[in-house]
Structure 1
Amino acid sequence: MKIVQILPELNAGGVERGTLEIAARLVREGHQAIVVSNGGRLVPELERGGARHVAMPVHRKSLATLFQVHAMRRFLTSEKPDIVHIRSRVPGWVTWLAWRGMNPATRPRLVSTVHGFYSVNFYSSIMTKGERVIAVSNCIREYILGNYPKTPAQIIRVIPRGIEPENYGTDFQPAADWRAKWTSEHPDLAGKCVLLLPGRITRLKGHGDFFNLIAALKSEGIPVHGLVAGDTHAKKQDYMDELRETVSRLGISNELTFLGHRGDIREVMAVSDIVLALSQQPESFGRTVLEAMALGKPVVGYDCGGVGELLGELFPAGRVPLGNAAELLGVTRSVINDRPVPSPVGEPFTLDAMCRATLAIYQEVIGSAR
């Protein structure tokens, strides 16, 4: 098969990671993998895996991006892929408009993945226009059926994101040199219960709830230290300043460390005691939550969306009603005291299962009537 995946950019994120994983699996199985995006820091990794990257400015949320429709149609006509797989709305519209203008008898087959709870409107409806529509969780399937009733239920396939058990196992330990460097850089963590909140620095990630939790645990005399790991976008600097002021006001400056972007989040999770998932809105899946539980780390998180699904399946003890500060404190305290561990992570939450299911959809679509 010859498969083209299309997304805005190749920087950090779950959509980008999944795109690379599918591309690498295609190449390993002897297929051709092409990714179209505006580029980004993951391009070298993509190409090392044997896939080809084609740069095209399909990332901007602007009507000007629609000028790429003709270029996209020329590209698809020239490459003649079997499948074109859209993973985001702006490039999805560019691709669909190009695809719609091609010969229905010879154009590539169209697959889409709904990666998130997009705002419900005509603009977002593009993600339901694939001949097969992949949902990354059961809650996303319900979101599609509830908000886009014209999408036939029989074309929706639920494929959870997956982890590699060999890279995320309960026996994983960071390398000795990494651990030595970490210990020397963070001596204040010694003897503390370390709580980690991973994720980009945005209002949706629940940093305020995390800080209040740290302050409450401190007031109870529990030796605790909070870690915040994530990018701060240039446009979010004001919010970052606001977070630092909150930390100071709560009197937890000595119990809270901002780590910034980490390329070693697996290692950071491995040396943490509890991972938090406090998004203020339902998330479509919760890949970091899955990775943490695969490492054997308890996760305390809000019981909604994909995070709630994962916790219900693998670690019910960590579920907290959305926004309930008292329950968040109580559940975290119980986890600190009782040290429960998540259930083992297996199928369907493995990378192998995700890739097998995705490639099976490609083959199913190719073999079906147009």
Structure 2
Amino acid sequence: MQVVPELETGGAEQTTLDVARAVIAAGGKALVASRGGRMAARLENDGGQLIALPMQTKNPLRMVGNAARLAQLIRREKVSIVHARSRAPAFSALWAARATGTPFVATYHGVYKAKSALKRWYNAVMTRGDLVIANSEYTRDHILAEHGLDPAKMVTIPRGVDLERFDPAQVSDERVTELQRAWGLAASDARTKILLAGRLTRIKGHLTIIEAAAKLKAQGLSDFVILFAGDDQGRVEYRQELISAIAAAGLQQEIRIVGHCSDMPAAYLLSDLAILPTIVPESFGRAAVEPQAMGRPVIASSHGGTTETVVGGVTGWLAAPGDAEAWAVALRQAIALGPDGRARMGKAGAERSRRLYSVDAMCAATLAAYERVLEAHS
């Protein structure tokens, strides 16, 4: 049983579905305790079962209630392993696992900051089980430094990309054309198309890109269009801040907020390159690997897990986080490289991502970690 706050969008949520599918393929039963969301239908279509609980809550009383319900579920369904993927639900999951004597695994999906002893204790719930999975070497180093965990209780399993889904050969021209229309792009639009895929939140660096684009336009370069594809998830004020910043910079023709996209493979094919300008380090950064699998070069912030997944000068560029001038330079270089140069770089990225970051490899390693924990309990 995996435990995650919700199934709306995001890397942890996608990994939850990937592992659930692998468990089912291996002959097991995949339960996911979560508030649910738009990805729940995919879980159930794959043969998984959603256990609808308010796992997103941070209310202590509701967390205790969740723990009691999870313990009942574990006993009734004969759950053999509990896997938590976020801190708040991890408390309920850990309590339930201990109450039932069930092995507990947690994946450290992000580099959680701690400015107090209380926050460090809160974060450490992810290290209190039988095994901790780090989603990158960057995350592993953080866990060791922050929590002093025994390295023998850890394993690094990079996130995987569904190479069947993110395969250019599997995306029809019709899908790309449909998305092009939905985003208001003319078929004759020959501008360099740059995709920033990610929810509309400040840490994703949208404002850095608006400032960088303004610098490019001031230098006489405007033959590009930047697409912000992502859900605001209720962050209406931030969305409006972006709209105002775009208007103030006179970039209404160069930057578009296109909303949530359910067909990311088509989005990457529609684009000429992808960008990941996070101002806070990504622990892994699936949005830097997926476009590479689709043959698109990437510009990413030079911190966190993306320094492992993007090879500067080979599969893309690395730019200083939050530095609009550095991003303007990288964007100019990517645009100037032209279609043929970007295609060569995209090919290198595709070969590397398919070698290192397949979802099959990630799932196989996760199932092997489960076996390791179960053998230790037997």
TM-score over 0.5 (shorter chain): yes
> Whole-Å Cα distance in 2 between the matches of residues 314 and 65 of structure 1?
50
Residues 311-358 of structure 1 show CA distances to partners (whole Å, capped at 9, x for unaligned) of 138946411122232222222212222234142122330011001000
Q: Which of residues 73, 83, 94 in structure 2 aligns to 1:75?
A: 73
1:282 — aligned with what?
281
> Whole-Å Cα distance in 1 between the matches of residues 216 and 263 of structure 2?
27
Q: Is the 8 A contact 1:139 1:284 kept in 2?
A: yes
Consecutive unaligned residues in structure 1, runs of 5 or more: none
Q: Is the 8 A contact 2:87 2:122 kept in 1?
A: yes
Counterpart AA for 2:362:
M
Per the alignment, in what secondary structure is the counterpart of residue 104 of structure 2? strand
For the pair 1:364 / 2:369, whether they are aligned, the reply is: no
For the pair 1:251 / 2:250, whether they are aligned, the reply is: yes
Equivalent runs, 1:186-225 vs 2, <5 Å: 186-187=185-186, 190-222=189-221, 223-225=223-225
Q: Is the 8 A contact 2:175 2:266 kept in 1?
A: no
For the pair 1:37 / 2:34, whether they are aligned, the reply is: yes
Q: Is the 8 A contact 1:276 1:299 kept in 2?
A: yes
Q: Is the 8 A contact 1:273 1:297 kept in 2?
A: yes
Report the alpha carbon displacement of residue 172 of structure 1 after superposing the two structures with TM: 5.5
Q: TM (normalized to structure 2)?
A: 0.90
Residues 95-152 of structure 1 show CA distances to partners (whole Å, capped at 9, x for unaligned) of 11222233xxxx2211110000113311111011121110001100011000001x21
For the pair 1:159 / 2:153, whether they are aligned, the reply is: no
The answer to which of 32-41 and 174-183 deviates more is 174-183
Residues 237-258 of structure 1 show CA distances to partners (whole Å, capped at 9, x for unaligned) of 1111111111111111121111
> Whole-Å Cα distance in 2 between the matches of residues 67 and 193 of structure 1?
52
Equivalent runs, 1:42-61 vs 2, <5 Å: 42-61=39-58
2:10 — aligned with what?
13
Q: Is the 8 A contact 2:292 2:315 kept in 1?
A: no
Report the alpha carbon displacement of residue 270 of structure 1 after superposing the two structures with TM: 1.0
Report the alpha carbon displacement of residue 220 of structure 1 after superposing the two structures with TM: 2.8
Q: Is the alpha carbon distance of 1:180 and 1:127 closer, same or farther for their aligned partners in structure 2, counting shifts above 3 Å?
A: closer
Q: Is the 8 A contact 1:214 1:224 kept in 2?
A: no
> Whole-Å Cα distance in 1 between the matches of residues 166 and 93 of structure 2?
35
2:266 — aligned with what?
267
Q: Is the 8 A contact 2:176 2:269 kept in 1?
A: no
2:117 — aligned with what?
none
Per the alignment, in what secondary structure is the counterpart of residue 301 of structure 1? strand
Q: Is the 8 A contact 1:37 1:54 kept in 2?
A: yes
> Whole-Å Cα distance in 2 between the matches of residues 99 and 310 of structure 1?
34
Q: Is the 8 A contact 2:2 2:84 kept in 1?
A: yes
Per the alignment, in what secondary structure is the counterpart of residue 187 of structure 1? coil
Per the alignment, in what secondary structure is the counterpart of residue 365 of structure 1? helix
> Whole-Å Cα distance in 1 between the matches of residues 211 and 238 of structure 2?
17
Q: Is the 8 A contact 1:80 1:108 kept in 2?
A: no
Report the alpha carbon displacement of residue 78 of structure 1 after superposing the two structures with TM: 2.3
Per the alignment, in what secondary structure is the counterpart of residue 347 of structure 1? helix
> Whole-Å Cα distance in 1 between the matches of residues 204 and 59 of structure 2?
27
1:98 — aligned with what?
96
Q: Is the alpha carbon distance of 1:188 and 1:250 closer, same or farther for their aligned partners in structure 2, counting shifts above 3 Å?
A: farther
Residues 198-219 of structure 1 show CA distances to partners (whole Å, capped at 9, x for unaligned) of 1111111111111122222223
> Whole-Å Cα distance in 1 between the matches of residues 365 and 107 of structure 2?
13
Q: Is the 8 A contact 2:56 2:88 kept in 1?
A: yes
Q: Is the 8 A contact 2:212 2:325 kept in 1?
A: no
1:115 — aligned with what?
109
Runs of 4+ in 1 over 6 A off after TM superposition: none
> Whole-Å Cα distance in 2 between the matches of residues 252 and 189 of structure 1?
20
> Whole-Å Cα distance in 2 between the matches of residues 269 and 33 of structure 1?
30
Counterpart AA for 1:228:
F
Per the alignment, in what secondary structure is the counterpart of residue 306 of structure 2? helix
Q: Is the 8 A contact 2:124 2:147 kept in 1?
A: yes
Report the alpha carbon displacement of residue 34 of structure 1 after superposing the two structures with TM: 1.1
Per the alignment, in what secondary structure is the counterpart of residue 32 of structure 1? coil
> Whole-Å Cα distance in 2 between the matches of residues 171 and 360 of structure 1?
31
Consecutive unaligned residues in structure 2, runs of 5 or more: 115-119
Number of corresponding residues: 361
